[in-house]
Amino acid sequence: MSRRFPWVLAPVPWSEETWFTRGTWLGKPLFSPRTADRSVLATKRQLRAKGLRPGGQDPCAFLVLRPRKAGKLVFANLYLIVKAKPVRPMTEARWAAHRKMMAARRTCRECGDLGWAELPKAHRTCEACLYTAGLDPDSYLHDYLAGQPTLSAAEHEALTEYPRLSTPDYALAG
């Protein structure tokens, strides 16, 4: 990183002083980890930890990281703490909208059943409806269809008559 982003002592728009930077990225000052003053600049998550949000400001600088796991360079936005605004508190109406959104992710668009897990984003269709609608040639569900059925339809029906959990209250509210 040091060869690609050499140290540059440069003026920065938010301060009268010159700061040690790693050059610029997309026209804004670039910093490497532990070189940006944490009392002045913060990432979105660092703002959140202070109970703040960027509040519509554009990032004033960038942070370059090389996480071992990612195996590549990662750039993060840095925001000015003085321009940040406090996080808006959650009201009952905002919680209701949130619950509605989370329930919609678990609702099958074919049969309207509410499940326990989020359905695939591409179609939001439950597995039962996928069988009814006809499986995609490369659907993973074909893996479960190999071989001969061991139960008749009636036996299978009897087996699957487990008590269904009722829809939780939080999913119905809002």
The residue ranges that bind Zn ion (CB under 5 A) are: 108, 110-111, 126, 129
Cβ of residue 114: shortest distance to Zn ion, in angstroms?
10
Alpha carbons 121 and 142: distance in angstroms, whole number: 20
Choose among 59, 71, 72: nearest CA to 31.
59
**Closer to Zn ion at the Cβ: 64 or 108?**
108
Query: Least CB distance from residue 158 to Zn ion, whole Å?
Result: 22
SS3 for the chain is CCCCCCCEEEECCCCCCEEEECCEECCEEEECCCCCCCCCEECHHHHHHCCEECCCCCCCEEEEECCCCCCCCEEEEEEEHHHCEECCCCCHHHHHHHHHHHHHHHECCCCCCECCCCCCCCCCCCHHHHHHHCCCCCCHHHHHHCCCCCCCHHHHHHHCCCCCCCCCHHHHCC
Q: Which is nearer to Zn ion, 43 or 107 (CB)?
A: 107
**Spatial CA neighbour of 38 closest among 25, 50, 23, 22:** 50
For the bound state, the minimum distance from the C-beta of residue 126 to Zn ion, rounded and expressed in Å, comes to: 4
Q: How far is the CB of 12 from Zn ion (least distance, A)?
A: 55
In the complex with Zn ion, the residue whose CB is nearer, 80 or 126, is: 126
- Of 65 and 135, the one with the shorter C-beta distance to Zn ion is 135
Least distance to Zn ion, CB of residue 111, Å = 3
- Which residue number, 61 or 108, has a Cβ lying nearer to Zn ion? 108
